Structure 1
Amino acid sequence: MGAPLIDLMQFTSVVAAVLDRGRKRPREIAVERPSALGAAWEKISASALASDIRAAGLGWIGLGLKPGEAVSILGSTSYEWMIMDLGAQAAGLVTVPIYETDSYEQIKWITQKAQVKAVITDTTAQAVMVRQLAKEPELAGQISEVFSLDDSGLTRLLEHGRALSPAQLDQRLEQIQLEDLCTIVFTSGTTGRPKGVEMTHANFLRPMNSVIEKRSWNEWVFDPGARVIYFLPVAHVLARFLGYQQLVGHGTGAFLPNSKTIVQDMQTFKPNALLVVPRVLEKVYNAADATAGSGIKLRIFRLAARTAEHWARLQESGKEITFAHKIKIALARKLVLNKIRKLLGGNLQGIVSGGAPMAERLGRFFIGCGIEVLQGYGATETTGPLTMSERIGNKTGYVGQPLLCNEVRLGEGGELQARGGSIMRGYHGEPELTKEAFTEDGWFKTGDLGQIDADGNVKITGRAKEIIVTAGGKNVAPAVLEERLKGHPLISQVMVVGDNKPFVAALVTIDKEMLPTWLKNHGIEQMDITRAARDTRVLEALQRAVQRTNRAVSRAESIRKIKVLTTDWTIENGMLTPSLKIKRDRIRAAYAEQIEDLFTKREQK
């Protein structure tokens, strides 16, 4: 039995719903965070959470900030991040997240554009940078306060509110209207300067209420016993949305700064659901494949993986599952697949994937492990999920039906378009860009190409701006090839190229974490990435991966050549967005010479 449903539309803000939980269900454990002792987790009740939020809200008011003014949080995912964010909401302020990896110029642009008045950072070094940019002529006198968490920043913020009456916060809360601006989230800027997406309180509450009404995901993020680790950036709207979803319900969330300790954290926290981008699942699968070793052990692993995928296909098709099939999956789980589940904490029931397309064979592998895999689809402009898969009738490769507050259609050229309660108010200070983002009859143009089946399930087939048109006139969707090729343990990132060229090619980067294990398993001496990128045995393995990938497409769409690069693409070097999407324009510019070589140099024999 699930918990009684909550009508979130009785509130005018997310923070009001979280504070209501603290009043009505004060003893529920809302958050757990790692203690200083390591393996133990500090439990934070709904009542304590509410108190922390109220204290932060009074602190923001104590800084002299007025309703509607903007504040920024520059830092990694953490309990403190959520407290400062929700406290700002309670004070009637507008939160403007800043990614840790944003450059000086990007932060300058964001704070100037959003007229940010105060900033809290993770580190003193970040605070020094913000203070420096606050002296720039364009920002002179705008930013009045800069705190850093590693220098008692949160304590200092709270001190500003200690002398204030709680009634002052209550008054601010009562003034909030559904259509008031809640946050401005600047897109990660894969092209040009980031655009500030304006989201109202209603933009969060309406889709959150739709998720609860649908019930499908409630066992994972809403009901008592629901336990989710959030390690994706809460500066990104997807993690923030689902974090809110849990905080207003009955479950427990953990907000962790990065994925470096995720395996250890999962084994002690034991989540029943996990929010990821597909690349995280690729890394788990590739690590399992690489550590399987070689010879009979590797063959057993890959046989188990094929069995898992076949099992998932059978379940999805509704065909009869024979006794022989049950024996095969039971044996595969006993020998291999249960070890994967144990690695992920042993209690994992479901994986929610979003932020990028997920390869179907990857989803089916984890389903075969006994873990449900659901996908959501959306964008910053849709306040996170626009569509969500259902646990009953889930179709691998589809991203589900639109939330109850939204509707979708296919526009010109097969572009997916949407309208409804979660669609942004517009781009901050950019009326012309806002107008361009919508059709004349008011539908938001997602820029993604899609299909919609008879039941209303959506399938994303590519991004309109990313479609490659070869010199022969063949349209090629790069995502299909890229996701399949990244399934090889040696490969970290892929970008398919070939626009106006005679054939399709790809840039490939090597996974430096997987390289040593792969070399050992194949009886090859250890070498660095620079040598590996030229080694005949490594290149032959990558070419076999290309051949397997090409089986999914026609010859005209197949990858004919690859260029193996010696530098991986990361968030830090500006080649990936915070949600781990490749920045195609940036990569094309940085590797223009290598791309040209693919089409002008003859292949080496």
Structure 2
Amino acid sequence: MSDTQTLIENRPPSVASLFLERVEATPDREAYRYPVAPATGEGPDAWHSLSWAQAADRVFSIAAGLVALGVDAEERVAVASSTRVEWILADLGILCAGAATTTVYPSTNADETSFILADSGSRVLIAEDAEQLAKARERRAELPALAHVVVIDAAGAETVAGDPEDWVLSLDELERRGAEYLRTHPESIKERVAAIGADQLATLIYTSGTTGRPKGVRLPHDCWSYMAKAIPATGLVTAEDVQYLWLPLAHVFGKVLISGQIGVGHVTAVDGRIDKIIENLPTVQPTYMAAVPRIFEKVYNGVAAKARAGGGAKYKIFQWAAGVAREYAKTTQDNFRHTGTASAPFGLKLKHGIADKLVYAKLRAAFGGRLRACVSGSAALAPDIGYFFAGAGIHILEGYGLTESSAASFVNPGEAYRTGTVGKPLPGTEVRIAEDGEILLRGPGIMEGYHGLPDKTSEVLESDGWLHTGDIGELSADGYLRITDRKKDLIKTSGGKYIAPAEVEGQFKAVCPFVSNILVHGADRNFCTALISLDEPTIMGWAAENGHEGKSYAQVVALKEVEELIGGYVERLNEGLQRWQTIKKFRILPRDLDIEHGELTPSLKLKRPVVEREYKSLIEEMYAGSRES
């Protein structure tokens, strides 16, 4: 048995145990950094730090405060907050109390929040602010199990008439109560942690389904303990790393990063404000960070737009450099695959060196200058965008997993990564491809099942532990996985041809710098069409350069010139597609797709049925007069 296998198989029963081990091993090392706004409200944020020992003091106080409120083992405590250091401290406090965390996106409306709190039977809600408190208060009559709401930012979150006694308290008050409890019960939290079994429920994460109510995915402690050992075993992260964590922690992708950090003990800088990412990167100077493809697409489009705004010469240099980056990345990856050395011919290296000075170095500096790798997950990254960043020295390692598999089932292996694949399975995870191409997974990261839904569980989880992912994929001879599409999203045209829409959509994102979202439609039709929404800053920049200042976004995207502009990119896309994949007609949407209208999930995945329902008239218009067969 290898050292890696031994380490994984002898893992502690819970991530709470791992946290205690981490604190004991490196108490004085920096654990977390977090921004604090200046008292005046003006100027840049100051970044504060917590050592592992300081974090443990707060975690133990939160855990003891929950115990003092009467929370028992495996009882649920919900967290409805954006990504911030208090989210992590609260989650670890819940786990160290032996309870289980129910995650709730702060963007979730009152109706769905109420459903999640009721379905999970959550006893306590840790709410970010008065807005999150109001959602619970609005539906309190439907939440008999909810005994307390703990508010992180307590301003404006006071008790009101009609609230039960002690129903609302601040996080500061919870920690004070916890500290008092620990004075009389000093070993209580360590005893709670010692009593946690590997199969005890740790987390309930509700999937944001495209139809119907979300399902609660039951993830026991062993899932996170396994991830905390398996992720470092890939060599992806080290104790010297600085991670920038901004992903939503209500999502399994963000959540697994907490476990990986505890396993290794590196620093994590935490700030979930997406509008602060560009500002924070030079300050944090991360060595790695995780993101969803939309972020890389926006950066790529932004760089291209800036080059275009600089004039024809600058844009030509950018386009040349982008082509060199892609060629260099493909060449070096191919050579590494065959020879074990990421080499390139002298002429290409020379061009790459020039492009580096002109373009790539500035791009790396914008990411903080120390970025060793990015991990991309949650959806497919267009290979051409991946190759661009790889050639520019920003290595995007695609990974793959589901909420039902604790997020990290596959990841690309460092230097040996291959753009366009999601890499190899984590040590201890098994994979096989079913006859119809569906990816099946088995291993310690797989869920226990859906909360209170045994029939739904049996639909995807076989008795011998194999999970049906619903994704279609291909395995290379040496174990690299390529995802081709969601099983349910595959399009079959009326001519009997199968099309993977995500593949076509990804290619368009690499071709067109103005696109924000695209949905390819064509099921049971005789040709494919597309609904396209444009990235507002990029298209408005184009509008200003082309004599359309003062027009609104809706007015700009309705222009005939914009239709012709995007039509040119559709033609370029079609040149690289099979005849039956080509986009014959398209419509530009009057606004971008977003989470608020229910068209995107909180992790920015497209909700196809919602978009197709909402824009049914545009779709029908594109097929009007065509002869369907």
TM range (shorter): over 0.9
Structure 1 position 485 matched with structure 2 position 508:
yes
Structure 1 position 147 matched with structure 2 position 150:
yes
**Unaligned segments of structure 2, at least 5 residues:** 39-43, 156-169, 337-342
Contact between 1:5 and 1:212, CA under 8 Å: does it hold in 2?
Answer: no
In structure 1, distance between residues paired with 2:462 and 2:14: 29
How many residues align? The count is: 591
In structure 2, distance between residues paired with 1:207 and 1:146: 30
When structure 1 is superposed on structure 2, of 447-456 and 254-263 the one drifting more is 254-263
Aligned residue for 1:412, secondary structure, equals coil
Partner of 1:552: 576
When structure 1 is superposed on structure 2, of 355-364 and 149-158 the one drifting more is 149-158
Deviation digits for residues 378-428 of structure 1, max 9, x if unmatched?
Answer: 000000111111113211111011111111111131000111111100000
Within a 5 Å distance, the mapping from 1:57-136 to structure 2 comes to: 57-136=63-142
Aligned residue for 1:531, secondary structure, equals helix
**CA, structure 1 residues 512+6, in 2 after alignment: closer, same or farther (shift >3 Å)?**
farther
The Cα shift of 1:5 comes to 12
Which residue identity lines up with residue 172 of structure 2 in the other structure?
T
Which residue identity lines up with residue 158 of structure 1 in the other structure?
E
1:223 to 239, 264, 274: 239
In structure 2, distance between residues paired with 1:28 and 1:88: 23
Which residue identity lines up with residue 23 of structure 1 in the other structure?
E
Structure 1 position 543 matched with structure 2 position 567:
yes
Contact between 1:91 and 1:173, CA under 8 Å: does it hold in 2?
Answer: yes
Contact between 2:401 and 2:408, CA under 8 Å: does it hold in 1?
Answer: yes
Aligned residue for 1:26, secondary structure, equals coil
Contact between 1:230 and 1:243, CA under 8 Å: does it hold in 2?
Answer: no
Deviation digits for residues 500-539 of structure 1, max 9, x if unmatched?
Answer: 1111001111211212212234565453222222212211
Partner of 2:287: 272
Structure 1 position 311 matched with structure 2 position 317:
no
2:351 to 306, 315, 328: 328
Partner of 1:426: 449
Contact between 2:109 and 2:135, CA under 8 Å: does it hold in 1?
Answer: no
Contact between 1:510 and 1:529, CA under 8 Å: does it hold in 2?
Answer: no
Structure 1 position 209 matched with structure 2 position 229:
yes
The Cα shift of 1:250 comes to 2.7
2:220 to 200, 213, 233: 200
Aligned residue for 1:65, secondary structure, equals coil
Partner of 1:31: 32
Partner of 2:173: 156
Aligned residue for 2:408, secondary structure, equals strand
Partner of 1:353: 376
Aligned residue for 1:335, secondary structure, equals helix
**CA, structure 1 residues 440+248, in 2 after alignment: closer, same or farther (shift >3 Å)?**
closer
In structure 2, distance between residues paired with 1:5 and 1:501: 50
In structure 1, distance between residues paired with 2:6 and 2:545: 53
2:365 to 325, 342, 357: 342
What TM-score, normalized to structure 2? 0.91
Partner of 1:399: 422
The Cα shift of 1:369 comes to 1.1
Aligned residue for 1:456, secondary structure, equals coil
Contact between 2:227 and 2:256, CA under 8 Å: does it hold in 1?
Answer: no
Structure 1 position 389 matched with structure 2 position 389:
no
Aligned residue for 1:370, secondary structure, equals coil
Percent pairwise identity: 33
Q: RMSD over aligned Cα, in angstroms?
A: 1.8
In structure 2, distance between residues paired with 1:159 and 1:300: 59
Partner of 2:188: 168
Which residue identity lines up with residue 461 of structure 1 in the other structure?
T
Which residue identity lines up with residue 66 of structure 2 in the other structure?
W
In structure 1, distance between residues paired with 2:49 and 2:6: 23
Partner of 2:12: 11
Aligned residue for 1:100, secondary structure, equals coil
Partner of 1:595: 619
**CA, structure 1 residues 353+6, in 2 after alignment: closer, same or farther (shift >3 Å)?**
farther
Partner of 2:62: 56
Structure 1 position 411 matched with structure 2 position 434:
yes
**CA, structure 1 residues 554+399, in 2 after alignment: closer, same or farther (shift >3 Å)?**
same
2:460 to 416, 425, 437: 437
Contact between 1:90 and 1:169, CA under 8 Å: does it hold in 2?
Answer: yes
When structure 1 is superposed on structure 2, of 16-25 and 395-404 the one drifting more is 16-25
Contact between 2:446 and 2:467, CA under 8 Å: does it hold in 1?
Answer: yes
Contact between 1:275 and 1:352, CA under 8 Å: does it hold in 2?
Answer: yes
**CA, structure 1 residues 6+124, in 2 after alignment: closer, same or farther (shift >3 Å)?**
farther
Deviation digits for residues 451-475 of structure 1, max 9, x if unmatched?
Answer: 0010011000111100111111111
When structure 1 is superposed on structure 2, of 307-316 and 199-208 the one drifting more is 199-208
Contact between 1:197 and 1:380, CA under 8 Å: does it hold in 2?
Answer: yes
In structure 2, distance between residues paired with 1:548 and 1:256: 39
**CA, structure 1 residues 5+297, in 2 after alignment: closer, same or farther (shift >3 Å)?**
farther
Aligned residue for 1:570, secondary structure, equals coil
The Cα shift of 1:304 comes to 0.5
Aligned residue for 1:352, secondary structure, equals strand
In structure 1, distance between residues paired with 2:436 and 2:5: 40
In structure 1, distance between residues paired with 2:171 and 2:20: 20
Which residue identity lines up with residue 239 of structure 2 in the other structure?
D
Contact between 1:63 and 1:160, CA under 8 Å: does it hold in 2?
Answer: no
When structure 1 is superposed on structure 2, of 246-255 and 175-184 the one drifting more is 246-255
The Cα shift of 1:14 comes to 1.1
The Cα shift of 1:99 comes to 0.5
**CA, structure 1 residues 420+23, in 2 after alignment: closer, same or farther (shift >3 Å)?**
same
Deviation digits for residues 17-62 of structure 1, max 9, x if unmatched?
Answer: 1222222211111111113343532121111111111111111111
Which residue identity lines up with residue 15 of structure 2 in the other structure?
V
1:580 to 596, 601, 604: 604
In structure 1, distance between residues paired with 2:544 and 2:405: 46
In structure 2, distance between residues paired with 1:182 and 1:403: 21
Contact between 2:548 and 2:556, CA under 8 Å: does it hold in 1?
Answer: no
Partner of 1:449: 472
Partner of 2:165: none
Aligned residue for 1:143, secondary structure, equals coil
Aligned residue for 1:228, secondary structure, equals strand
Which residue identity lines up with residue 231 of structure 2 in the other structure?
V
Aligned residue for 2:441, secondary structure, equals strand
The Cα shift of 1:581 comes to 0.2
In structure 1, distance between residues paired with 2:528 and 2:273: 35
Aligned residue for 1:495, secondary structure, equals strand
Contact between 2:291 and 2:376, CA under 8 Å: does it hold in 1?
Answer: yes
Contact between 1:481 and 1:550, CA under 8 Å: does it hold in 2?
Answer: no
The Cα shift of 1:270 comes to 0.4
Which residue identity lines up with residue 264 of structure 2 in the other structure?
G
In structure 2, distance between residues paired with 1:100 and 1:475: 38
What TM-score, normalized to structure 1? 0.95
Aligned residue for 1:83, secondary structure, equals helix
Which residue identity lines up with residue 19 of structure 1 in the other structure?
L
**CA, structure 1 residues 257+87, in 2 after alignment: closer, same or farther (shift >3 Å)?**
same
Structure 1 position 243 matched with structure 2 position 267:
no
In structure 2, distance between residues paired with 1:17 and 1:398: 31
Within a 5 Å distance, the mapping from 1:245-260 to structure 2 comes to: 245-260=260-275
In structure 2, distance between residues paired with 1:26 and 1:521: 55
Within a 5 Å distance, the mapping from 1:503-582 to structure 2 comes to: 503-522=527-546, 525=549, 527-582=551-606
The Cα shift of 1:86 comes to 0.5
